[in-house]
């Protein structure tokens, strides 16, 4: 067919030209609109490009350990005792699950050519509903997948789970950022899990007796894997949780990158009339500050500006920050291995998904407080341990590996926040699933390598070899060895445990041996007595806990309140709370004076069974030398009075009011503290106090006395309560 060329000035030619121009203009308009839409947020980098985006502590280098397609959306990495690595994937985040359409996975990662990089992956378990964390146990994996804790196992050797048991049920599952996760095995043989304190009614799966369900409101969760006994743990951790070699728990929430569990839950429950005590405390000396190098996300800056404008309009003394403050603290790891230089020993590392960085703190024991202080490496530190200029870097977790190196688990997403807290107009150009096909895991290696002794584990590994690993210079292997020896339930290990306790130069190994002997019902009082005088404070601290089992150790426990270590003295104070008598109360007062009525020592005393009493208040005021902070004494008086008023019959309450309002005790600070405590205690009662005309008349008489207006206001409130 012969083709024709139409004249440019023909009607048809003009129409075609016009249509072409319009088409080009429309295409350019779409391109501009698309570009504007995308311009707020940059695109992804390849794994190799991402490596170049990092700035890290000058003593270290970063290596790729695993990338897509072998891992996608990873949030956890764990190794079993054979060195098998398991990654948990969370591709459904951040949206609610659709029944029957869950796609969470656990993958067994393989390095087939031994080049240090994953080159194969087997799907160990699939279609999991918000699985977030795993912990190897008895040849399988314990898995947190709210509302359950599961146990999965490969029994055929093909790398795929073919056994699934539900151990516990009832955990809160309505918030993807705050549910049961992060299983950690502690030296006391218990596994601790982060729960964020949400109300749950947890029970052993299949249990018919619902009265045995456990409320987790305000607490974390713990259980014994060898017995499946379970209980509350002081918290509450949102995601991150890590443990040192002596059982100290460090936890994170989004905005608090390091808190320490200070008072174990069992002590907080000992005095049922104790006013609310959180049990954990923020231990950082630099607040929420971090150094972010990625640009502030567009949506966050706009939202922050809007909120600050609203605060100003409402004349609120409040300000929100769009960057350089922790808002997405997530995974954490205590570094307890010899592969890194000495200055990194006993350091704490936490990942920050919103700030695209890994933060480092040095943990320092305090001489004046029962918890550690988390401080920056130098007073004027300007750089984080590891930062990226790539805003897609989302370090969800960090793990200490069997080789003594840290591994950073990068979910790698364009957006990491849940959409529910972002305004609709800002969400229009945000794809919260963008990047769900990516995932990276990095290995952090020191430039000056200290290669640890090789560990070769097989099914034929002897008990003696496992016992030796209790003293290995990597807390990873110490923990795995303790778990294995607990799994065995073989009493032939007892002589070996005795040997570790008596001869190991590693203090943590001595502690682990003691707890394993206790698990085997083979712990002797003589061993506890010896440990109470150990040269290492961590051993003494744990020996006090174990000494609670032996009545003959009462005097030794009380005496340890005089220990040179604040942490040991604090534990002795907690443990002595089960005792009564003048000796323990006298020692309580001496301890409080020594630590200047420190908040946590006050709370420890108030958890005791006997201290919150009129006699104890009298003893405190009698021995008050005036060299301590009066507000500390006042706070203790208030706490004691609170407990007395909350629990007592009217006779004790009468005596308490008489004591505070007698002329000889007319110091207004003590009177005010006592009255404040009485009022708080009465208000906390489920039932209102029975009307007592005589007591009411006494208070009315005090109202016309010479007290200050402030005290008279308290007396009036007390009268109204009565």
| pLDDT tens per residue across span 314-324 | 999 999 999 99
Which one, of 248, 191, 186, 192, lies nearest residue 220 by Cα?
A: 192
Which one, of 270, 276, 236, 273, lies nearest residue 256 by Cα?
A: 236
Q: For residues 412 and 74, is the Cβ–Cβ distance under 8 A?
A: no
Structure tokens at 496: 């070996």
Which one, of 86, 145, 79, lies nearest residue 479 by Cα?
A: 79
> In the chain, what percentage of residues exceed pLDDT 70?
92
Tell me how far apart the alpha carbons of residues 564 and 560 are, in angstroms, rounded to a whole number.
9
Higher pLDDT, 141 or 721: 141
Q: For residues 151 and 200, is the Cβ–Cβ distance under 8 A?
A: no
Mean predicted confidence (pLDDT) in 478-482: 98
391 pLDDT tier (thresholds 50, 70, 90): very high
Task: Name, of 78-87, 168-177, 373-382, the range with top average pLDDT.
Answer: 78-87
462 pLDDT tier (thresholds 50, 70, 90): very high
Does the pLDDT of residue 572 top 80, yes or no?
yes
Other beta carbons less than 10 A from residue 696's beta carbon: 15
Does the pLDDT of residue 16 top 60, yes or no?
no
8 pLDDT tier (thresholds 50, 70, 90): very low
Higher pLDDT, 272 or 506: 506
- Would you state the CATH architecture of domain 54-446? 6 Propeller (2.120)
CA 654 to chain centre: 43
Q: For residues 416 and 353, is the Cβ–Cβ distance under 8 A?
A: yes
Q: Tell me, what's the pLDDT at 448?
A: 93
Enumerate the H helices of 470-549 as residue ranges: 475-488, 494-503, 507-519, 525-531, 537-547
Tell me how far apart the alpha carbons of residues 340 and 342 are, in angstroms, rounded to a whole number.
6
Tell me how far apart the alpha carbons of residues 204 and 414 are, in angstroms, rounded to a whole number.
39
Higher pLDDT, 693 or 570: 570
Does the pLDDT of residue 37 top 80, yes or no?
no
Give SS3 for 552.
helix
pLDDT digits (tens, 9 = 90+) for 188-246: 999 999 999 988 999 999 877 766 799 999 999 999 999 989 999 998 899 999 999 99
Q: Tell me, what's the pLDDT at 264?
A: 97
6 pLDDT tier (thresholds 50, 70, 90): very low
Which one, of 164, 79, 176, 169, lies nearest residue 127 by Cα?
A: 164
Does the pLDDT of residue 354 top 80, yes or no?
yes
Higher pLDDT, 650 or 384: 384
CA angle 562, 567, 568 (to 5 degrees): 45
Strand partners, 120: 110
pLDDT digits (tens, 9 = 90+) for 48-70: 999 999 999 999 999 999 999 99
Scored b (16 or more CB within 10 A) or e, 466-497 reads: bbbbbbbbbbbbbbbbbbbbbebeeeebeebb
Mean predicted confidence (pLDDT) in 333-342: 97
Mean pLDDT computed over every residue of the chain: 91
Q: Tell me, what's the pLDDT at 32?
A: 46
25 pLDDT tier (thresholds 50, 70, 90): low
23 pLDDT tier (thresholds 50, 70, 90): low
- Non-local CB neighbours of 527 within 8 Å, separated by 6+ positions: 498, 501, 514, 517
625 pLDDT tier (thresholds 50, 70, 90): low
Residue ranges covered by each domain of the chain = 54-446, 612-722
Please, what sign has the CA dihedral across residues 467, 468, 473, 477? negative
Q: For residues 51 and 61, is the Cβ–Cβ distance under 8 A?
A: no
pLDDT digits (tens, 9 = 90+) for 107-154: 999 999 999 999 999 999 999 988 999 999 999 999 999 999 999 999
C-alpha distance from residue 443 to each of 67, 345, 400, 501, 621 (Å): 12, 17, 10, 34, 57
Give SS3 for 493.
helix
Structure tokens at 39: 């311009």
């Amino acid at each position: 067919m012969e083709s024709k060329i139409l004249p440019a000035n023909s009607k048809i030619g003009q129409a075609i030209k016009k249509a072409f121009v319009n088409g080009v203009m429309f295409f350019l308009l779409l391109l501009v609109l698309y570009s504007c839409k995308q311009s707020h947020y940059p695109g992804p980098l390849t794994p190799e490009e991402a490596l170049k985006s990092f700035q890290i502590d000058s003593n270290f280098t970063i290596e790729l350990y695993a990338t897509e397609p072998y891992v996608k959306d990873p949030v956890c990495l764990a190794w079993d005792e054979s060195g098998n690595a398991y990654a948990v994937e969370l591709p459904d985040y951040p949206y609610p699950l659709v029944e029957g359409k869950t796609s969470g996975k656990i993958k067994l990662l393989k390095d087939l050519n031994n080049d240090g990089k994953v080159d194969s992956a087997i799907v160990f378990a699939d279609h999991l509903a918000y699985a977030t964390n795993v912990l190897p146990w008895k040849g399988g994996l314990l898995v947190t997948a709210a509302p359950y804790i599961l146990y999965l196992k490969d029994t055929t050797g093909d790398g795929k789970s073919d056994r699934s048991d539900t151990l516990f049920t009832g955990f809160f599952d309505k918030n993807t950022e705050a549910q049961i996760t992060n299983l950690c095995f502690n030296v006391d043989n218990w596994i601790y899990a982060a729960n964020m304190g949400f109300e749950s009614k947890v029970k052993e799966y299949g249990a018919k007796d619902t009265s045995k369900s456990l409320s987790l409101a305000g607490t974390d969760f713990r259980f014994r894997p060898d017995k499946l006994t379970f209980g509350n743990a002081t918290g509450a951790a949102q995601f991150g949780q890590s443990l040192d070699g002596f059982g100290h728990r460090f936890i994170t929430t989004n905005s608090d990158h390091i808190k320490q569990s200070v008072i174990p839950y069992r002590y907080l429950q000992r005095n049922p009339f104790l006013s609310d005590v959180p049990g954990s405390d923020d231990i950082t000396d630099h607040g929420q500050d971090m150094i972010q190098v990625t640009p502030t996300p567009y949506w966050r800056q706009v939202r922050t500006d809007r909120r600050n404008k609203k605060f100003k309009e409402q004349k609120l003394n409040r300000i929100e920050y769009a960057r350089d403050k922790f808002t997405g603290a997530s995974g954490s790891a205590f570094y307890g291995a010899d592969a890194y230089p000495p200055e990194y020993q006993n350091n704490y590392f936490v990942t920050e998904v919103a700030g695209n960085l890994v933060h480092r703190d040095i943990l320092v024991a305090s001489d004046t407080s029962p918890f550690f202080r988390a401080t920056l490496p130098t007073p004027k530190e300007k750089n984080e341990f590891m930062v990226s200029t790539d805003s897609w870097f989302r370090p969800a977790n960090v793990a200490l590996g069997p080789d003594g190196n840290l591994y950073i688990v990068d979910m790698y997403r364009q957006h990491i926040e849940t959409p529910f807290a972002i305004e609709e107009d800002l969400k229009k150009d945000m794809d919260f699933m963008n990047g769900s096909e990516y995932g990276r895991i990095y290995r952090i290696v020191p430039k000056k390598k200290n290669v640890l002794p090789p560990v070769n584990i097989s099914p034929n590994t002897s008990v003696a070899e496992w016992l030796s690993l209790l003293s290995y210079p990597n807390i990873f292997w110490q923990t795995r060895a303790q778990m294995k020896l607990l799994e065995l339930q073989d009493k032939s290990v007892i002589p070996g445990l005795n040997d570790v306790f008596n001869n190991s130069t590693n203090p943590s190994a001595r502690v682990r041996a003691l707890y394993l002997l206790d698990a085997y019902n083979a712990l002797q009082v003589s061993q506890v007595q010896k440990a109470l005088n150990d040269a290492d404070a961590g051993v003494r601290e744990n020996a006090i806990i174990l000494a609670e089992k032996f009545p003959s150790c009462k005097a030794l426990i009380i005496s340890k309140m005089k220990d040179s270590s604040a942490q040991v003295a604090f534990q002795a104070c907690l443990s002595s709370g089960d005792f009564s008598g003048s000796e323990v109360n006298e020692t309580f007062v001496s301890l409080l004076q020594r630590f200047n009525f420190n908040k946590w020592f006050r709370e420890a005393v108030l958890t005791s069974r006997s201290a919150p009493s009129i006699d104890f208040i009298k003893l405190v005021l009698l021995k008050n030398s005036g060299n301590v902070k009066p507000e500390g004494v006042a706070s203790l008086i208030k706490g004691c009075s609170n407990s007395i008023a909350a629990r007592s019959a009217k006779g004790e309450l009468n005596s308490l009011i008489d004591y505070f309002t007698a002329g000889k005790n007319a110091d207004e600070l003590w009177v005010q503290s006592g009255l404040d405590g009485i009022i708080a205690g009465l208000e906390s009662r489920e039932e209102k106090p029975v009307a007592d005309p005589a007591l009411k008349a006494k208070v009315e008489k005090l109202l016309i006395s010479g007290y200050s207006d402030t005290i008279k206001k308290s007396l009036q409130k007390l009268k109204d309560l009565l």
